[in-house]
Amino acid sequence: MRIKIIKASPKKMKTKPKDESKLGFGKIFTDHFFNMKYKDGKGWYDAVIEPYRPLKLDPTAMCLHYAQEIFEGLKAYRGPNDEIYLFRPTENIKRMNSSAERLCMAQIDEEIFMEALKKMVILEKDWIPRGSGTSLYIRPTLIATEAALGVHPSNEYLFFIVVGPVGAYYPQGFMPTKIYVSEEYVRAAKGGTGFIKAAGNYAASLYASRIATGMGYTQVLWLDAKENKYVEEVGTSNIFFLISDELITPPLTGTILPGVTRNSVVKLANYLGVKVAERLLTIDEVISSLEKGTLKESFASGTAAIVSPVGQIYFRKKEYLINGGKTGPLTEKLYNEILQIQYGLKEDPFGWRVKILEGKKTKKK
């Protein structure tokens, strides 16, 4: 299938942000978006990149009623010579299709998905910011569009991709966050949808997040739904703890999102000679390690958050500082190493970077 491109008229193009330090996250979108439709019996059709516009949906479109809606998040980076990279895009494509399978939605052909990503980013390349920590965030989304109120898998879907320049996910930038351990609310239970990027997972997280932010915390640290004792995720990201000399992150047992950044951190830390364990970790072990002084660092990982230090934990009415509330050296190293790989500033021993546009040729000295 060919992707048709209809360009926005220059008069209607938006003004690009001038101050990259004020980009924030997910507030600015470019001039175009990709979309493609699906119908049972017909398959995918009408792949187009066209001027950005509101969607037209029937009020009974099933995504609006029964949350058949999934999404992905990845980024495009501008290299030092203006070349453009994606970071492990195949992982997002595969995860989107595993999310689609779990919610009985139409899966997307991997080749057309990749082509849509590349064409969108290349068309909007002038929107990709230059500053460190900035990038073009890419949000592929799949929604059920059949107009029907009976509860069943939709027979029609819309897949679309919007992109927009972003800076740091948290307003405070690369600064330690404060996290609140929720014992009352849970994010996901075994057998549920915690391992996929279902929009409904995020809706279900808002109530506890509002309690946490109302108390001055940045994010919720989620515990498992069954025993309420194993650490699972933090906010919209995966979580890591450095206890003694072991970097620990909870294993992918079905309730945790298999983060692309999580996987990259595990591989990178191993490569750097850090001992990494993907194992169950109780909140009691976290707290007792804090009390003993063996818990040295903690950070969250995610596409949006990259590697985001955790400086404080609130649990059962007590506050615990991690590394004196400051970013630890391993957290900082992993953050820098990942960014440098993403921006093409250093060797990529893992083959994660995908160059989608050549840059200016550099002069040979």
Are 255 and 190 spatial neighbours (Cβ–Cβ below 8 Å)? yes
Instruction: Give me the least distance between CB of 331 and ligand COI, in Å please.
Output: 17
Task: Pinpoint the alpha helices (H) of 103-224.
Answer: 110-123, 199-214
Contacts of ligand COI in 281-300 (CB under 6 A): none
SS3 35: strand
Can you tell me the distance from the alpha carbon of 232 to that of 240, in angstroms, rounded to the nearest whole number?
A: 10
Residue of 85, 28, 77, 66 whose CA lies nearest to 152: 66
Q: Does 73 bind ligand COI (CB under 6 A)?
A: yes
Q: Name every residue whose Cβ is closer than 8 Å to that of residue 150 and which is 6 or more positions away in sequence.
A: none
Contacts of ligand COI in 205-264 (CB under 6 A): 236
Q: Which is nearer to ligand COI, 160 or 202 (CB)?
A: 202
Can you tell me the distance from the alpha carbon of 38 to that of 159, in angstroms, rounded to the nearest whole number?
A: 8
Can you tell me the distance from the alpha carbon of 182 to that of 184, in angstroms, rounded to the nearest whole number?
A: 6
Choose the stretch contacting ligand COI; rule: CB under 6 A; options: 149-157, 267-275, 302-310, 316-324: 302-310
- Could you say which of 176, 192, 194, 302 contacts ligand COI (CB under 6 A)? 302
Q: Does 301 bind ligand COI (CB under 6 A)?
A: no
Exposed, middle or buried, 307 (CB in 10 Å: 0-12/13-18/19+)?
buried
- Could you say which of 134, 303, 312, 327 contacts ligand COI (CB under 6 A)? 303
Q: Which is nearer to ligand COI, 66 or 202 (CB)?
A: 202
Instruction: Give me the least distance between CB of 45 and ligand COI, in Å please.
Output: 28
Q: Does 304 bind ligand COI (CB under 6 A)?
A: yes
Instruction: Give me the least distance between CB of 267 and ligand COI, in Å please.
Output: 18
Q: Which is nearer to ligand COI, 283 or 300 (CB)?
A: 300
Whose CB is nearest to ligand COI?
73
Can you tell me the distance from the alpha carbon of 191 to that of 254, in angstroms, rounded to the nearest whole number?
A: 7
Contacts of ligand COI in 107-136 (CB under 6 A): none
Q: Would you tell me which residues interact with ligand COI (CB under 6 A)?
A: 73, 202, 236, 302-304
